[in-house]
Amino acid sequence: MPDSSFPSKRLTYLLEIIADEAIAGNDAIFLRELGYSIREIRVLRIVDDNPGITFVEIWEKSGLERSLTSRILQKLIGDGLLSRASSGTDARKYHLSTTPKGQALRRQGRVMSDTLEGLLLDPFPEAERARLFDQIERLGRWVRSEEYRAALEGFVPPPLAKGV
């Protein structure tokens, strides 16, 4: 009997459902154990990996909405996890870095992320995990490529049947 867990076998639908459900389940654990959401830890990680990064760069790297990124940064700064310094060339621009407290939380978040990702991938043997990551990364590079964007811009749908 075919698996009917998902009403649609469309790839983008499946990827969205998997990501949404995994993040929602893990987020509750992050909040309970660390006091911060997955997205807040993601922003903290981005800043920790890129000391002196600006808001726009964080927003672009995070994949989050602009207003959510701003709220997260305000919270992390207010909680003493990030520090900000004014740009020497533009008074409206700030450069952000993690504080020692932020670095410690980032390390805890990494352990939590690694453990929960292992649980998520539990149905896959190690060799299949590596292959899955390779394929997803290849798909991600394609979706972000100029070739894909050009193909979308030039996309012409097939003729649609009338009355459908």
pLDDT tens column, 19-49: 999 999 999 999 999 999 999 999 999 999 9
Q: What average pLDDT does the segment 66-79 reach? A: 96
Q: What are 111-137's pLDDT values in tens digits?
A: 999 999 999 999 999 999 999 999 999
Spatial contact of 40 and 76, defined as CB atoms under 8 Å apart: yes
This prediction has a pTM of: 0.79
Place of tokens 């299949």: 128
Question: Considering Cα of 51, then 55, then 60, then 61, what sign does the dihedral take?
Answer: positive
Helices 38-49 and 66-78 cross at an angle (nearest 10°) of 80
| 90-104 pLDDT per residue, tens | 767 889 999 999 999
State residue 88's pLDDT score: 72
- Does the structure show a pLDDT above 70 at 1? no
Say what the pLDDT of residue 151 is.
95
Tokens linked to 87: 């740009």
Q: What is the DSSP string of 91-123?
A: TT-EEEEE-HHHHHHHHHHHHHHHHHHHHHTTT
Side-chain-facing half-sphere of 35: CA atoms under 13 Å: 6
